[in-house]
């Protein structure tokens, strides 16, 4: 008890000390959202002497799209899962010496394709075709030459490369055709509903970090990064005094940022539960989806046209995860995943049966959501779980189906594609994300769409602070989608939190 209060006193003293030394005024800041960008901003501000901080989070926990959940004894991630790359990756740089990451295996490293008619596609050919696809993805310079959608660009370059390597080979072309829609889902539908909606421009503005693209968290999933940001790791006695500044279940409903020219004295933030907060500045970190859906009602006065243009124009997709837990590990040790390829005949037959997998309003012209699951994958963190992604147009719709229907659909796929090889027990539990229907996310993450190009919508515009009547940068924007080159990642989101904190630090220096 004594030690505890002694620590608190010390913290208070040092906070005061910093204020006196660094700041003429004690500015107050509200951060809307406690995802990684909000937490990053809060920690950077605290470390620079800003003590009047309030973090308002709508959910009942922090982390946002970093959401690690215990599932039958181990942790799994419903959102951000892998650290993508090392060089220039803030997350990697922070944790590389802390023994928190493992490289033990790569979920997507084995490309064995299972066909819907119960066979495996010639692996020598699919390995080459996949490699050709990968080369196109990695060729950022080539993409600069592309115009229009990545779909148009990819298909053109892919078949050119295939015929260059194999000549006119009917068998290879047949397999390439089977693989085409899988490649679309694997490479692009993680971003958008169709690769015809994604701009080739996005392919080269996105900056990937060199190094291992699939670093796994050893123990508790990606949420470990929150403890690293708050300095609970590696030494809990050095943690930043942030916990008591974070308020959960506080859904912000109004941000009044420019009351009036004559008597403007800061921003007022109202929450759905009737509570009100005032501050000199607010950093809005809510997702692009939340801004798309709620910006009109959220801001008083309304946002300027350039800002609305960026919110409406930047692309947003939904990708969801389905995690299936089995009573036993029924797959072989060397299995990394089961990639699913439909034969045309089976696809047509599936449409006739699609009513078995949910109400027809959930399918799209008879297209069944099962087609938008491109495979089942072994994950590092859980020995008896397989991970599937639902992508494309189906992703938001599957959120509305019952767990029973989802398990049933997944079991149907597993048995149809690999039942000839494995004895598969029924999955006993399912855990899935609902990023689209949750009003605190309204989608997964941003991309550069054809619409972004047409509207000249940019992350730079989304990031620009709003200046209030008193001439101050009052409303600041952070979050994954405001990162011009590292959108759609955790490390990119953290960069934006730091960027906005630095903006405020500079004002008061
Ligand atoms: C399925 C999926 C898989 C992914 N996989 C990876 C991966 O492997 N590696 C990787 O690097 N990245 C991955 N990402 C991306 C990464 O998770 C995100 O880019 C990042 O977590 C976004 O952080 P953020 O702080 O910008 O936004 P968020 O995490 O969305 O934080 C915003 C916070 O604001 C809160 N909020 C919303 N509305 C309100 C309101 N009205 N009032 C108060 N609070 C509100 C939200 O609840 C949320 O906590 C994945 C994302 C998804 C969805
Ligand atoms: C399955 O379909 C593929 C591609 O159409 C075909 O080559 C293969 O012979 C079929 N296999 C079986 C067992 O029907
Ligand atoms: C881009 O296109 C031009 C003209 O067709 C061509 O000369 C050049 O080699 C292409 N560059 C790349 C990187 O593909
Ligand atoms: C994708 O493009 C189609 C047509 O080009 C359009 O109707 C649709 O709204 C777009 N979808 C998204 C999510 O932008
Ligand atoms: C500011 O308040 C005055 C008087 O209440 C009002 O006339 C004026 O329209 C307000 N200005 C803005 C920008 O809201
Ligand atoms: C915000 O809350 C305050 C205090 O309850 C209230 O006076 C104000 O009208 C509210 N603002 C809006 C826009 O609802
Ligand atoms: C923090 O800032 C708010 C808004 O400016 C102010 O009302 C409050 O008194 C401040 N709190 C402290 C402890 O200074």
DSSP-derived letter for residue 185 is I
Mean pLDDT of 495-503: 98
Cis peptide bond prior to 301, omega within 30° of 0: yes
User: Binning pLDDT at 50, 70 and 90, where does residue 6 land?
Assistant: very low
Look-up of token digits 């941003």: 446
> pTM, whole model, 2 decimals?
0.92
- Secondary structure element (H or E) that encloses residue 120, with its range: strand 119-120
Higher pLDDT, 333 or 414: 414
User: What span, in angstroms and rounded, lies between the C-alpha atoms of 382 and 367?
Assistant: 32
Which residues lie closer than 8 Å to 241 by C-beta, 6 or more apart? 11, 15, 46
For 286-313, the pLDDT digits (tens) are: 999 999 999 999 999 999 999 999 999 9
Dihedral sign (CA 147, 152, 156, 158): positive
| Ligand 3 binding pocket includes 139 (Cβ within 6 Å) | no
Which residues lie closer than 8 Å to 293 by C-beta, 6 or more apart? 439, 442
Closest C-alpha residue for ligand 4 atom 4:
197
Percentages (nearest 5) of helix, strand, coil residues in the chain: 40, 20, 40
Q: 322 burial class (0-12, 13-18, 19+ CB within 10 angstroms)? A: buried
Q: Record the tokens describing residue 308, joined without a space.
A: 């609305």
pLDDT surpassing 60 at residue 429: yes
Superfamily holding 18-64+218-316+449-508: FAD/NAD(P)-binding domain (3.50.50.60)
Answer for the pair 77, 53: CB distance below 8 angstroms, yes or no. no
Dihedral sign (CA 62, 64, 65, 71): positive
User: Binning pLDDT at 50, 70 and 90, where does residue 147 land?
Assistant: confident
Closest C-alpha residue for ligand 5 atom 7:
260
Mean pLDDT of 84-92: 97
The pairing of beta strand 246-247 with beta strand 252-256: unpaired
Closest C-alpha residue for ligand 6 atom 8:
270
User: Binning pLDDT at 50, 70 and 90, where does residue 364 land?
Assistant: low
For 439-468, the pLDDT digits (tens) are: 999 999 999 888 898 999 999 999 999 999
- Secondary structure element (H or E) that encloses residue 94, with its range: helix 90-95
| Ligand 4 binding pocket includes 199 (Cβ within 6 Å) | no
For 177-216, the pLDDT digits (tens) are: 999 989 998 887 666 778 888 888 777 788 989 999 889 9
| Ligand 7 binding pocket includes 208 (Cβ within 6 Å) | no
The pairing of beta strand 299-300 with beta strand 252-256: parallel
Mean pLDDT of 332-346: 92
Tell how far the Cα of 45 is from the centroid of ligand 6, in angstroms: 27
Task: Break the chain into its structural domains and give their ranges.
Answer: 18-64+218-316+449-508, 123-211
């Amino acid at each position: 008890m004594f030690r505890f209060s002694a620590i608190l006193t010390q913290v208070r003293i040092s906070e005061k000390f910093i204020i006196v030394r660094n700041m003429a005024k004690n500015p107050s800041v509200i951060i809307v959202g406690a995802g990684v960008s909000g937490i990053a901003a809060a920690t950077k501000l605290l470390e620079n002497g800003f003590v009047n901080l309030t973090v308002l989070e709508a959910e009942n926990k922090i982390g946002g799209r970093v959401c690690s959940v215990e599932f039958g004894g181990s942790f799994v991630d419903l959102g951000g899962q892998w650290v993508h790359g090392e060089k220039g990756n803030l997350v990697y740089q922070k944790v590389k010496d802390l023994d928190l990451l493992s490289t033990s295996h790569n979920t997507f490293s084995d490309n064995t394709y299972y066909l819907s008619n119960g066979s495996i596609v010639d692996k020598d050919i699919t390995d080459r075709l996949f490699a050709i696809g990968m080369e196109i993805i990695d060729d950022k310079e080539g993409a600069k030459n592309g115009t229009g959608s990545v779909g148009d660009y990819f298909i053109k370059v892919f078949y050119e490369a295939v015929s260059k390597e194999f000549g006119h080979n009917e068998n290879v072309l047949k397999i390439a055709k089977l693989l085409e829609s899988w490649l679309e889902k694997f490479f692009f539908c993680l971003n958008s509903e169709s690769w015809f909606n994604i701009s080739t421009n996005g392919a080269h503005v996105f900056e990937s970090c060199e190094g291992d693209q699939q670093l796994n968290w050893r123990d508790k999933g990606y949420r470990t990064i929150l403890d690293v940001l708050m300095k609970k790791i590696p030494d809990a006695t050095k943690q930043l005094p942030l916990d008591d500044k974070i308020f959960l279940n506080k859904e912000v409903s109004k941000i009044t940022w420019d009351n009036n020219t004559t008597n403007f004295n800061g921003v007022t933030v109202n929450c759905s539960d009737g509570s009100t907060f005032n501050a000199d500045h607010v950093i809005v970190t809510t997702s692009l989806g939340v801004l798309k859906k709620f910006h009109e009602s959220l801001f008083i006065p309304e946002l300027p046209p350039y800002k609305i243009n960026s919110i409406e124009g930047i692309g947003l997709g939904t990708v969801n995860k389905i995690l299936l837990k089995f009573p036993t590990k029924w797959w072989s040790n060397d299995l990394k995943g089961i990639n699913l390829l439909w034969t045309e005949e089976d696809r047509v037959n599936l449409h006739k049966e699609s009513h078995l997998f949910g109400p027809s309003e959930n399918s799209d012209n008879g297209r069944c959501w099962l087609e938008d699951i491109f495979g089942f994958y072994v994950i590092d963190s859980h020995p008896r779980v397989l991970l599937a992604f639902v992508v494309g147009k189906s992703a938001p719709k599957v959120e509305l189906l019952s767990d029973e229907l989802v398990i049933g659909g997944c079991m149907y796929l597993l048995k149809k594609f690999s039942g000839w090889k494995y004895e598969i027990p029924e999955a006993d539990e399912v855990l899935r994300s609902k990023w689209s229907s949750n009003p605190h996310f309204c989608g997964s993450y941003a991309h550069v769409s054809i619409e972004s190009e047409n509207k000249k919508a940019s992350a730079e515009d989304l990031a620009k602070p709003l200046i209030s009547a008193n001439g101050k940068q009052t409303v600041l924007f952070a979050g994954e989608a405001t990162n011009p080159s590292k959108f759609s990642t955790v490390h990119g989101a953290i960069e934006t939190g730091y960027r906005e904190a630095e903006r405020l630090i500079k004002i008061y220096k």
